[in-house]
Structure 1
Amino acid sequence: MSRPRTPATYFDAMYGSAEDPWSLTERWYERRKYDLTVAALPQPRYRRAFEPGCSVGELTRRLADRCDTVLACDRVESAVETARRRTAALPNVSVHRMLLPEEWPEGSFDLIVLSELLYYLDELTLGTVLERTVSSLEPEGTLVTVHWNHPVEEHLTTGEGIAKRVAAQPGLVLAADHREEDFVLQVHRRTTAEGARPAGVAAREGLV
């Protein structure tokens, strides 16, 4: 990933051509992927979630059902406006325009979702985003990554490439790894305050 990150002009052009340029609200592929993303969450409920690159808010709406608060953001103002409109009836959701990693929210999160985002970032920027992600995650917090796994001219890598990079990030342990022909969905947990692996779902419920 030696190329620079995908320029803002690419996203401006995409959203300038259509409100929902990737048809995120219409395609069965996208709806199914979002449902799988939410189903993979190991906790029944989260206190505070962060979803950068939220686009038009389709995944945001689903996260709102599982989280007390959701902070979503995107770099494109028109996408932010659409996401705000589509989540207006959800008082636990706030949507802001942010450029990551230059702008990063304050406070900590027990859930961060990086969906269809990381392959737009050059190696240096990706490293910074992952470092800040881990720093912002509470001990035993959940990180979800899900990315398209086919080569795209504007993508600097694929879902499998992202999986390899996240696996090398200190402070995270893999909790779930779902791979299909089209995308890679992974769940990582931040280590405990003592640096240990967090307990799995069955262990927390006394089944193991």
Structure 2
Amino acid sequence: MRIKDYGEMNLQDLDVMREIGSIGTGHAATALSQMLQKEVRITIPQVKILGYDEAIEAIGGNIEQIVGATLVKMDGDINGLMLFLFNLEFANTIFDKMMGMSYAGFEQMDTMAHSALTEIGNIIICSYVNAFTELVDMHIGLSVPSAAVNMLGAILTVPIAEYGYETDKLMYCNADFVIDGKTYNDWLLMLPDIASLNRILEKLGVS
């Protein structure tokens, strides 16, 4: 049965997307490990279908919280968005390892930090998508990444504005990175359009 909204996904559909998330975030952790030259592990992935307010709550509960984000658009066999959100502590850990610098807030970041934010998010997203394409045997093209620093509420309006005509739900994927024994929060929103989501589920034999 073809679904018409993210909210129609059943437990089997979510289990399949969780397995994809596990493989994708595992590849992202490997790429991050190579970048930092140290072991990076992940926590057990979660995949949830959340409304806008629920996503705000899951990510921190503060609509005015300033976050960094990297956005990449998907096309080809799958159309949609990939949005990676940075916690400041996680971003500073990466900046410290790469550039020997840290920042009191995202607002204080200079051009170099913004470029690093874009590149780090892009590497994580590309690693995730590459693992995903191998699993489902589909071609996915990725746009040039863009990064933004803004309030969480404003960042999350981007996918809602893009696909609000199809669904008011977001696919929230979460597997925190563990570096030097410390767990760092991060969030990935994978948002294929509804036609693409149906193709993924059909390809994997669950729809």
TM-score range, shorter chain: under 0.3
| Higher normalized helix content (fraction of residues) | 2
TM-score if structure 2 supplies the norm length? 0.27
Higher relative contact order, structure no. (Cα contacts within 8 Å, ≥ 6 residues apart): 2
TM-score if structure 1 supplies the norm length? 0.27
